[in-house]
Amino acid sequence: MTFEVGMRQLGGEAIYLGAQEIQLGVREPVPDVARNLGRWVDAIAARTFRHATVEELARHAGVPVINALSDREHPCQALADFFTLWERGQELDKFRLAWIGDGNNVCHSLLLLAGLVGAEIVCACPAGYEPDPGVAARARELGARVEVIPDPREAATGADALYTDVWISMGQEAEQETRRRAFRGYQVNEDLLAFARVGAVVMHCLPAHRGEEISEETLDGPHSVVFDQAENRLHVQKALLLTLLDRTAP
């Protein structure tokens, strides 16, 4: 939706190809799909489940390929998130973000972008659900301060933002019960918020499961910036498209 609206606002067009229509790798090998699309369009925004698929598209398309969400990363979300903090006047290189819950795709992208802006991220994750150590190492190399600990209260202490995401991401439906058990105690709620700095913001990439990873009260409460984050996906993606296509705004 945000890419389609964004392209329209920029005076361009977007063509949506659903999973059933394109059948990546089934109807046609991924490199061939990439080469075809690359001959017809100026850029591709791909929401594939497997990260390797988006990388394969990028290798063969010959036009910019934007990862619009994969099981490993969600970079457009992280761009929107740091933009949301920046537009609120936050100094990102002094910012401490507490990630509570699953060290998943959104967490990975926040870590990598934290590296680029010099922010600090403390991830509180249950054992076995920490972010990929390779991603954390890369984030540190890029300049992020990264800690991975088990205790959500310790992570929230002194944090400028509490950020959480669903406990069950796309493709993990079979692990529902195990995950729900593992993440019990990792809910972002008013009790946890009390450990953060006064004026801390509450963040979520949405869709949210109210009452699971975040309480209804906190998601809809005065600290929540979740719909600013959602709006900003539209804006940062337009900026990203203009940058990649080397164009200026109309």
How buried is 184 (Cβ within 10 angstroms: 0-12 exposed, 13-18 middle, 19+ buried)? exposed
Pick 60 or 232: Cβ nearer ligand NVA: 232
Q: Report helix, strand or coil for 237.
A: helix
47 carries an active-site annotation: yes
235 carries an active-site annotation: no
Cα gap 212→183, rounded to integer Å: 9
What b/e string do you get for 3-30 counting C-beta neighbours within 10 Å, with b at 16 or more? beebbeebeeebeeeeeeebebeeeeeb
Q: Report helix, strand or coil for 114.
A: helix
Q: Which of 48, 104, 218, 232 binds ligand NVA (CB under 6 A)?
A: 104
**Residues in 170-199 that interact with ligand NVA by CB under 6 A:** 170
Q: Which of 45, 205, 208, 219 binds ligand NVA (CB under 6 A)?
A: 205
Residue owning tokens 């993606």: 237
Which residue in 59, 160, 172, 65 sits closest to 119, CA to CA?
Answer: 160
Of 74, 108, 179, 204, which residue is the catalytic one?
A: 74
Pick 92 or 205: Cβ nearer ligand NVA: 205
74 carries an active-site annotation: yes
Q: Does 161 bind ligand NVA (CB under 6 A)?
A: no
51 carries an active-site annotation: no
Pick 69 or 110: Cβ nearer ligand NVA: 69
Q: Which of 81, 120, 165, 212 binds ligand NVA (CB under 6 A)?
A: 165
* Tokens standing for residue 39: 């001959």
Which residue in 53, 81, 14 sits closest to 5, CA to CA?
Answer: 14
Minimum CB separation of residue 175 from ligand NVA in Å reads 13
Q: Which of 48, 67, 169, 189 binds ligand NVA (CB under 6 A)?
A: 169
Cα gap 64→76, rounded to integer Å: 14
Stretch that binds ligand NVA, among 13-21, 103-111, 127-135, 212-220 (CB under 6 A): 103-111
Pick 233 or 238: Cβ nearer ligand NVA: 233
- List of residues contacting ligand NVA (CB under 6 A): 69, 74, 104-106, 165-166, 169-170, 205
